Homo-oligomer: A and B are copies of this chain.
Amino acid sequence: MLPKGTRDILPLEKKRRVYLQNTLAEIFECFGYQPIETPALELFKTLSGKYGEEGERLMFKLLPRGAKFEQLSGLSATEMGQHIEEALRYDLTVPFARFVVDHRSELTLPFKRYQMQQVWRADRPQKGRFREFTQCDADVAGPGGMVQEAELIQLYDWAFERFALPVEIRVNHRSLLQGLAALAGCPDRFVDFAVGLDKLDKVGWDGVRADWAQRQLFIDWERISWMSLGDTAWSAALERYKQHLSEEALAQRGLADLHELDALLHAVPPKHAQLRLDPSLARGLDYYTGCIFEVSALGVELGSIGGGGRYDNLTGLFGLPGVGGVGISFGLERIALALEQLHLFPDSISAAPPLLMAHLGGEAGLRAFTLTSQWRRSGRAVEFYPKEDKLRKQMEYADKSGIRWLGMIGLDEIQNNTLSIKDLKTGIQKVFGQLETEAIFDFVNA
């Protein structure tokens, strides 16, 4: 029995997660991102006030210990709240901001880090949604230009190519959204405008207009209806924006940034991902200040499997102003679901070694053990049946454990220095010399 919303991860799923994480780590490092770790436990005052009222409610807080616990006795809930000292990480962004401030004398900016760690949120558990789950973030903290956005698009492109997962990367810029709000005549109602527009993908234009109306935002939407882009290619879409927003002061930074990004992506176009300019994309409006991204898997209904963007103020809340950055995250759990649904995990990932050495004990057992040991030491995964038993029992064990090949040394094999290997799936059996290691494992790994 486990706490609500938590779960065990069994070998096959764990190995698939390791595959995802190792692949991402390798790619992050090619792009110059370095791994760090922060503790699961943070001071409550570090996390408190950063995630809104709901976040505060869903945060896992630690019970004070020892004498501090005794002191809670008889207090009201509010008074008890003031004695909370520690809580579990709620995301990786706030701890990273705290990290940059704490280690500012050791870090050279721009500092590129990636981090794959668990976070805890006492959300209502749903299918595929847990109270303890893994986040996977890559961020650059410090100065830089649009080349960083181009790199992050390349990183997404390469990662999803490695996973063979078809994706679309949607790109937008806060300043384009602001320019659109101004063009639509409501620059002072920016948040309502953007929050309504963000639903375009789901509810269509009629839905967006209804949403705006409900917010008492009355827009002559004809003035911005040209922004329905459909499948318009990235560069052509950008041209249309340049044309319609050329007079909007608020849009100028966005147009210039995306122009620069366009030049970089022209030089090094994505090879795998579809890129789309999506002016309805909003994401965390109180956090991102420049370019924003969102990635969706094509061919599965999963929602977003990644996203990110540029922000101006990472560390201000911890007393270090002027440090901005740009970053992306990968939704590991959802990517795993997508690969599973589309059968894209490599077949080589298995919850058992390919070969079980069976034996009848005595001299044959000792010989089988010796061979097993030599194979393992040369880096081959082999199981050895750990006691004397009937051959039938040993075959049953292989079968139940998902081991396909059975190695066997009996009396004949001892005399001839040979070894029989049986494919339990096809029934095909072959005899090898005991030292023909390469041939044996070519057969087993075929």
The yes or no answer to A220 lying at the interface (CB within 8 A) is: no
Q: Are B34 and A351 neighbours in the complex by a CB distance under 8 Å?
A: yes
Interface string of A136-152 (1 = CB under 8 A from B): 00001001110110110
Q: Are B72 and A118 neighbours in the complex by a CB distance under 8 Å?
A: no
Q: Are A35 and B18 neighbours in the complex by a CB distance under 8 Å?
A: yes
Partner of A102, one of B1, B132, B369: B1
Closest residue to A356 on the B side, CB-wise? B32
Closest residue to A14 on the B side, CB-wise? B35
Q: A38 — which chain B residues lie within 8 A by C-beta?
A: 8-9
The yes or no answer to A287 lying at the interface (CB within 8 A) is: no
Partner of A39, one of B7, B84, B140, B373: B7
Known: A32-B383, A37-B14. A65 touches B120 (CB 8 A): no
A346 to B215, CA, bound (A): 61
A376 to B152, CA, bound (A): 12
The yes or no answer to A230 lying at the interface (CB within 8 A) is: no
Q: Are A6 and B147 neighbours in the complex by a CB distance under 8 Å?
A: no
A264 to B361, CA, bound (A): 12
Interface size class, chain A: 35 or more
Q: How far is the CB of A312 from chain B (nearest CB, A)?
A: 16
Q: A88 — which chain B residues lie within 8 A by C-beta?
A: 40
Count of chain copies? 2
Instruction: Name, among A263, A365, A373, A388, the residue most crowded by chain B CB atoms within 10 Å (CB to CB).
Output: A373
Partner of A72, one of B1, B72, B386, B397: B72
Partner of A110, one of B6, B15, B76, B386: B386
Q: Are B8 and A42 neighbours in the complex by a CB distance under 8 Å?
A: no
CB<8 Å pairs between A and B, sample of 19: A1-B102, A3-B43, A9-B36, A10-B103, A11-B35, A14-B36, A29-B353, A30-B382, A34-B352, A60-B65, A63-B84, A72-B77, A112-B383, A143-B387, A147-B384, A147-B386, A158-B377, A264-B369, A267-B369
Given contacts A73-B76, A145-B386, could you give 8 more A-B pairs where the C-beta distance is less than 8 Å? A9-B36, A30-B376, A34-B351, A40-B120, A57-B65, A60-B65, A147-B369, A154-B376
| Residues of A that sit less than 8 Å from B by CB | 1-3, 6-11, 14-15, 18, 22, 25-26, 29-32, 34-43, 46, 57-58, 60-63, 65-66, 69-70, 72-77, 80, 84-86, 88, 98-99, 102-103, 106, 108, 110, 112-113, 118, 120, 122, 131-132, 140, 143-145, 147-148, 150-151, 154, 158, 263-264, 267-268, 351-353, 365-366, 369-370, 373-374, 376-377, 379-384, 386-388, 397, 400-401
